[in-house]
Amino acid sequence: VNLQKSLQRLSSGSRINSSIDDAGGLAVSMKLSASIRRTEATQANVNNALSLLQTQDGVLKNADKILNRLSELAQLSTDVTKSTSDRALYQTEFSALTNAMDQLAAEEFNGVALFSAAATQIEVITSQDGAQSVGITLADLATIVGNIDGISISGASGATSSDIDTLVTAVQDLANLRATNGSDQSRLTFAADMLSINKVNLESANSRIADVDIASESANLARFNILQQAGTAMLAQANQSQQSVLRLLV
């Protein structure tokens, strides 16, 4: 029996192949294995949330380029050497870019809105027991877009000082959104790192309980083999002695 158990442990790599091998150890190993699987699932969720934030930042980066161009067009429209028709051309591009900003505000990631008019926070679970979470912000890009939608740079004097101030404020507000996004990404990255560390530690703890010690088990196998061979030899010798006695009696 011992020889068969040793062979089974070495072939499977597991010290516990049935509950009779170590009832308490099996129970602890099952709980640790479940924790490992939950940790892996939590890691996947955190990484998906990180991808959402990275996508959001990519959209905000494009929005920044558009706002810079809008500010430039507004400033160009105030040039006293420009005619009304020149300003009308500026307005055409300005309107097209504000429409592009509207489209950016409606972007989604896997069906989840990247932006919210109320700067909504969504909670991302960051621990396998569900006790810890990180709130990430669905940035309020719609308000920025709404503020610049009404600007017209095609008037007799081009953009007003108020229009330019609105665009300057929009750039600052967008910078704040990107800063918040970067902060959320940083927090999620640290959470993902902690999950990786926890997973390694759980796997190590489970390995000490469930995995076979190859060196020790190999020594046991050799010992059981010797004992079995010695027992077989002794039994064969005993049978041979009995047959010798029987031959003498005959």
DSSP 141-199: HHHHHHHHHT----STT-S-HHHHHHHHHHHHHHHHHHHHHHHHHHHHHHHHHHHHHHH
pLDDT digits (tens, 9 = 90+) for 189-215: 999 999 999 999 998 898 888 766 556
Lowest-confidence segment of 37-51, 110-124, 166-180 by average pLDDT: 110-124
Q: Residue 119's pLDDT band (boundaries 50, 70, 90)?
A: confident
3-class secondary structure, 37: helix
Is the per-residue pLDDT at 67 higher than 70?
yes
Residue 9 has a CB neighbour count (10 Å cut-off) of 22
Structure tokens at 25: 């150890």
Cβ 57 vs Cβ 181: under 8 Å: yes
Q: What integer pLDDT is reported at residue 214 of this predicted model?
A: 57
Amino acid (one-letter) located at 146: G
Element (H, E) at 15: none
Q: Are strands 112-113 and 133-137 parallel, antiparallel or unpaired?
A: unpaired
Give the percent of the chain with pLDDT over 70: 77
The predicted model gives 3-27 an average pLDDT of 70
Measured between alpha carbons, how far apart are the two ends of the chain, in Å?
Answer: 40
Mean pLDDT of the chain: 86
User: How many other C-beta atoms can be found within 10 angstroms of the C-beta atom of residue 142?
Assistant: 18
Question: Lowest-confidence range among 4-13, 90-99, 101-110, 173-182?
Answer: 4-13
CA angle 95, 96, 99 (to 5 degrees): 85
Query: Beta strand pairing status for 112-113 and 121-125?
Result: unpaired
Tell me the sheet residues that pair with 122. 136
Which residue from 140, 178, 142, 174 is spatially nearest to 71, judged by alpha carbons?
174
pLDDT, tens digit (0-9, with 9 covering 90-100), for 209-243: 876 655 665 666 566 566 566 666 666 666 666 56
Residue 131: pLDDT over 80: yes
pTM listed for this prediction? 0.78
- Reported as type and span, the H/E element at residue 2 is helix 2-12
Q: How long a stretch of residues is the chain?
A: 250
DSSP string computed for 70-116: HHHHHHHTT-TT--HHHHHHHHHHHHHHHHHHHHHHT-EETTEES--
* Residue 39: C-alpha distances to residues 184, 193, 199, 204, 249 (Å): 20, 12, 6, 14, 76
